[in-house]
């Protein structure tokens, strides 16, 4: 049973960069005939300060909330007219991360779409940002939009680690980018390669091990592609090596001219789970295109 996109939540702070994200959300909603809900969260702390500092704090608060409602309504109407879809709206008061995740749960969203702070910045520009914290909080797949949408996604780089939900990764990308060419990649690493070299192990032995891993990975990726129903002309196989996985993914994203990268939220061990996944974090920080981060909830399929 294939993954279907029936409900999308688009998060916006009503800024120009966030407009790219909700525009992509509307585009996806039209393509999938999915319901779209825009959500804007007003942080309570400035409102509390306003009540303390201004005698008519209550009136001022209502004015601020009304202004947000008007701006969100204008945005919803603009997107609805452009993409010929119905767009729902939610203004919520609270921490953006909690409120966005809450709306996503209440709407049973199959996808949360949010903007980022941009690409090519140092990792601390992403770590701790609202977008990254939404990703940590949400149990739903999150699409982090960097680029203005020029149409449906054309080429999607899908990084697989052969964990239990590598197949759902392919199903998820098929749901949001059904016409994209899939660049399927598995980053080859030789365990303890540095220590092996320090121990004086023959480099040719290490290279034979790397070659064996590459051949095994290629066969497993071929099985994945066949299981997903991909035809030979619909996907490309990559098995890069020699660099940290995140660097390999970012390099292939650029060399293959991809406009979407698809990765998993969780790693294969507890430490990576706690850190969101070191590879995922670095791809978010250093990549240049949109990133779809799939979650374990993707294992639940809809018919």
| Beta bridge partner(s), residue 37 | 9, 88
CB-side exposure of 18: number of CA atoms within 13 Å?
A: 15
What's the predicted TM-score (pTM) here? 0.82
DSSP H or E segment with residue 39: strand 35-42
Sort strands 260-264 and 235-238 into parallel, antiparallel or unpaired. Answer: unpaired
Question: Other C-beta atoms within 10 Å of 168: how many?
Answer: 22
User: Rounded to an integer, what distance in angstroms lies between the CA atom of residue 284 and that of residue 287?
Assistant: 6
Predicted confidence at residue 294, as pLDDT, reads 82
User: Rounded to an integer, what distance in angstroms lies between the CA atom of residue 168 and that of residue 156?
Assistant: 15
Predicted confidence at residue 48, as pLDDT, reads 54
Could you tell me how many helices (H) and strands (E) the chain has, helices first?
11, 10
Is pLDDT at 291 greater than 60 in this prediction? yes
Predicted confidence at residue 111, as pLDDT, reads 95
The pLDDT-based confidence of 29 (bands split at 50, 70, 90) is: very high
The pLDDT-based confidence of 200 (bands split at 50, 70, 90) is: confident
Q: What is the pLDDT of residues 213-272, one digit of tens each?
A: 889 989 999 999 998 889 888 999 988 877 888 888 999 999 999 999 998 865 444 333
User: Rounded to an integer, what distance in angstroms lies between the CA atom of residue 55 and that of residue 39?
Assistant: 30
Q: What is the pLDDT of residues 47-103, one digit of tens each?
A: 555 555 555 545 666 777 888 899 999 999 999 999 999 999 999 988 888 889 899
Separation in Å, CA 128 to CA 76, 250, 285, 296? 28, 21, 11, 22
Record the tokens describing residue 83, joined without a space. Answer: 């993409």
Record the tokens describing residue 281, joined without a space. Answer: 């974090």
Higher pLDDT, 16 or 249: 249
The pLDDT-based confidence of 179 (bands split at 50, 70, 90) is: very high
Please tell me whether residue 155 adopts helix, strand or coil conformation.
strand
User: Rounded to an integer, what distance in angstroms lies between the CA atom of residue 288 and that of residue 235?
Assistant: 21
Residue 54 CA, distance from chain mean position:
41
Closest listed residue to residue 159, CA positions, set 86, 115, 224, 83: 224
The pLDDT-based confidence of 1 (bands split at 50, 70, 90) is: very low
Averaged over 122-132, what is the pLDDT?
50
Q: Burial, 174: exposed, middle or buried (Cβ in 10 Å; 0-12, 13-18, 19+)?
A: buried
User: Rounded to an integer, what distance in angstroms lies between the CA atom of residue 112 and that of residue 7?
Assistant: 9
Is pLDDT at 118 greater than 50 in this prediction? no
Q: What is the pLDDT of residues 134-176, one digit of tens each?
A: 777 777 889 999 888 889 999 999 998 887 778 888 889 999 9
Higher pLDDT, 47 or 34: 34
Question: Among 3.40.50.12370, 3.20.20.70, 3.10.20.740, 2.60.40.3470, what is the CATH number of 7-299?
Answer: 3.40.50.12370
Domain boundaries, given as residue ranges, for the chain: 7-299
Separation in Å, CA 117 to CA 51, 94, 125, 126, 130? 31, 21, 7, 7, 9
């Amino acid at each position: 049973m294939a993954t279907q996109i029936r409900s999308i939540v688009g998060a916006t702070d009503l800024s120009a960069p966030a407009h790219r994200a909700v525009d992509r959300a509307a585009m996806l909603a039209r393509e999938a005939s999915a319901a779209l809900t825009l959500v804007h969260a007003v942080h309570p702390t400035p409102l509390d300060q306003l009540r303390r500092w201004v005698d008519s704090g209550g009136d001022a608060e209502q004015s601020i909330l009304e202004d947000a409602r008007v701006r969100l309504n204008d945005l919803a109407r603009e997107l609805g007219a452009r993409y010929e879809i119905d767009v729902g709206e939610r203004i919520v008061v609270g921490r953006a991360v909690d409120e966005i995740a809450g709306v996503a749960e209440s709407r049973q969203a199959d996808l949360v779409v949010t903007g980022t702070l941009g690409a090519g910045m140092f990792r601390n520009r992403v770590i701790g940002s609202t977008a990254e914290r939404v990703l940590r909080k949400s149990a739903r797949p999150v699409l982090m939009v960097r680029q203005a949408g020029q149409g449906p996604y054309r080429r999607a780089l899908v990084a697989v680690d052969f964990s239990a939900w590598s197949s759902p990764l392919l199903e998820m990308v098929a749901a949001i980018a059904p016409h994209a060419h899939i660049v399927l990649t598995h980053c080859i690493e030789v365990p303890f390669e540095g220590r092996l070299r320090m121990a004086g192990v023959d480099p040719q032995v290490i290279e034979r091990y790397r070659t064996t891993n590459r051949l095994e990975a290629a066969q497993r990726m071929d099985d994945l592609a066949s299981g997903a129903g991909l035809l030979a002309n619909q996907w490309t196989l990559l098995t890069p090596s020699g660099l940290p996985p995140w660097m390999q993914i970012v390099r292939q994203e650029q060399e293959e001219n991809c406009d979407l990268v698809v990765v998993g939220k969780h790693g294969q061990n507890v430490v990576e789970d706690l850190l969101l996944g070191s590879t995922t974090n670095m791809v978010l920080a250093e990549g240049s295109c949109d990133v779809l981060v799939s979650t374990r909830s993707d294992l639940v399929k809809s018919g």
